[in-house]
Structure 1
Amino acid sequence: MSVHDEVPGPGGGASRPNAGGGPGGKARFEDIYDQADPRAYFTRLEPLGYEIPQHAQPVFRRAAELRGSAGDAGARRPAVLDVCCSYGINAALLNHDLTMAELYEHYTSRRARQLSTVELAAWDKEFYEQRRRPDAYPVIGLDIAARAVRYAQAVGLLDLGCTDNLEEQPPGPRLSSALADVGLITMTGGGSYITERTFDALLSRAERPVWVSAFWLRTVPFAPIAETLAAHGLRTTADTTRTYPQRRFTDEREQRYAVAAVRALGEDPAGLEEAGLFHTVLYESRP
């Protein structure tokens, strides 16, 4: 695709092997995604150079600003729904004067290692309060990792945390109620594990126009998602002349998987996955 090409609508999608589960060859990190606090998450991912939330920070801030000025006269400020929110990293970068490097430094510091989870949460609450931006947006987090979501809400990163598994069931009462205020859906991870079912469940219960900004791994087709978004009146565009690195591969097996998956989707891994990094494409979906 060329700059800002439209993603195929209904009939233009490709099949998605391993949808809803971890694809063969891709490393899984379940042991760090749902701990009582984020220290293991940052300790494990720092050596891999996990950086996609940092790339997303200016994109999500701009999308939230544009969505907020797009209308809904008289309504409350549109909320941001972060899908696969984990410990609230995107919310931290969206609403606070912080960088991903500073979060790594914070959570891998000597002081952080010495604290209990309760003590760390108290420190984090103060840490984020001191860096809160005056233009902060209400953020709802969605992730099946209950402990991670609970921590993010406890330290003030999420206004509401929900753990509904929309791949298997419709939104529960809390999430359904919260969706009334959602104007922007963001996502930087989870494309290998969730499908169009999650997006359909969210948009089916939206009460105001919803935009979507998603950084999607090149190893997974976005077309099935775009088809579902199109059915809800959203047109998806992407600048595929630019990619955003996610992280380094854990080993050669993971790299072989990624290179093969990208080629299977008709894309060229030269200089990207072949150079040792997962890469994402930014997809923007709007009415």
Structure 2
Amino acid sequence: MGRSGSGGVTRGKSRFDDIYVQPDPRAYFTRLAPLDYEIPHHAQPVFRQVAAERAAHGDSRTGGLVVLDLCCSYGINAALLNHEVTLAELYERYTSDTASRMSPEELAAWDRDFYAERRRPDALRVYGLDIATPAVRYARDAGLLEAGFTDDLERVPPGPELRRALPEVGLITLTGGGSYITERTFTALLDGVRGHVWVSAFVLRTVSYEPVVRRLAAYGLRTTVETSRTYPQRRFTDEREQQYAIQAVRALGGDPSGREEAGRFHSVLYDSRPGGAVHAPVTGGHQPDHLAGADGSTYRD
């Protein structure tokens, strides 16, 4: 996904800033297709399950559950959460000859019809946050996001529009943005929400999520993570990037064999909910592998 902030550690990791400032997602899918960028595909069933559990949990909000997708870029997670569509179909759609002949405005109109026809009956309101203004604008124009924000919470506090929206949020999701945002972004968000908020985040094994876990714990959220189950994100762009990833995983105490050494970035799923909440694993049936911290968080690096 795109970047919602600029405070994460990215040294050694290839950047794709140029594909997030295009007026539509064609460059995004064209560039990432050869790299088999697939983490949104793995997140699709997880986010649907977590969203259903969060909605069933209930609270005093009106209008149903609101999901805030961090580093939302062109609204890919929103498309997969709320519509009968697969990531493979999106790759095929946006790299097609038909799409290549359209203007950005024509593509957005084409998308509005496409997603309207495939909208799920249990579709949720999804807000998006990303500093890539063109990407957020397109996601809104295509009907994927009900609201979109471009505040860089790594640098500045939420603006008035985001502050008004945050009390509605009940679930925060993240895929691929853990390299760019830190606990500063989560602090800004949790300072503005109301009631119980859950966080579901896929984070690369090359970065430590521990500072975020500790910050979430300060807001009463207990985090579970199953380190034995990983999710491939994409192929490496070159050998230099692969060596960076292998060294970064080892530096954090992980084992890159069979994962990063095999040629792909891998992510781990972190699930954060109010302390004491009992829930089933959302990682395909494996039991969580974690250690309980003195602050009430559950974390294992």
So what's the TM-score if we normalise by structure 2?
A: 0.88
Q: How far apart, in 2, do the equivalents of 1:114 and 1:253 lie? A: 36
- Say yes or no: does 1:99 pair with 2:98: no
Residues paired across the two proteins, number: 269
Q: How far apart, in 1, do the equivalents of 2:134 and 2:173 lie? A: 21
Q: How far apart, in 1, do the equivalents of 2:65 and 2:231 lie? A: 27
The answer for unaligned runs of 5 or more in structure 1 is 1-18
1:40 is displaced (CA, Å) by 0.2
Q: In the alignment, what sits opposite 1:156? A: 143
Q: In the alignment, what sits opposite 1:81? A: 68
Q: Is the 8 A contact 1:34 1:86 kept in 2?
A: no
1:34 is displaced (CA, Å) by 1.7
> Deviation string for 1:185-220 (max 9, x for gaps)?
000011111100000100011012100000000000
Q: How far apart, in 2, do the equivalents of 1:71 and 1:104 lie? A: 35
The answer for unaligned runs of 5 or more in structure 2 is 1-5, 275-301
Q: In the alignment, what sits opposite 2:101? A: 114
Q: In the alignment, what sits opposite 1:218? A: 205
Q: How far apart, in 2, do the equivalents of 1:129 and 1:145 lie? A: 24
- Say yes or no: does 1:133 pair with 2:86: no
Q: Which moved more, 1:170-179 or 1:148-157?
A: 170-179
1:179 is displaced (CA, Å) by 0.8
Corresponding letter in the other structure for 1:213:
S
- Say yes or no: does 1:49 pair with 2:9: no
Q: Is the 8 A contact 2:84 2:118 kept in 1?
A: yes
> Deviation string for 1:98-147 (max 9, x for gaps)?
10000000000000001111111111111111111111000000000001
Q: Is the 8 A contact 1:25 1:257 kept in 2?
A: yes
> Deviation string for 1:132-174 (max 9, x for gaps)?
1111000000000001000000110000000000001111111
Higher RCO (C-alpha under 8 Å, 6+ residues apart): 1
Q: Is the 8 A contact 2:126 2:146 kept in 1?
A: yes
Corresponding letter in the other structure for 1:38:
P
Q: How far apart, in 1, do the equivalents of 2:61 and 2:102 lie? A: 45
1:78 is displaced (CA, Å) by 1.8
- Say yes or no: does 1:275 pair with 2:262: yes
Q: How far apart, in 2, do the equivalents of 1:43 and 1:286 lie? A: 36
Q: How far apart, in 2, do the equivalents of 1:136 and 1:203 lie? A: 24
- What is the percentage of aligned positions where both structures have the same residue? 67
Q: Is the 8 A contact 2:68 2:126 kept in 1?
A: yes
Coordinate RMSD, CA, aligned: 1.0
Corresponding letter in the other structure for 1:145:
A
So what's the TM-score if we normalise by structure 1?
A: 0.92
Q: Which moved more, 1:157-166 or 1:72-81?
A: 72-81
Q: How far apart, in 1, do the equivalents of 2:10 and 2:107 lie? A: 34
Q: In the alignment, what sits opposite 1:8? A: none
- Say yes or no: does 1:235 pair with 2:222: yes
Q: Is the 8 A contact 2:8 2:178 kept in 1?
A: no
Aligned residue for 1:76, secondary structure, equals coil
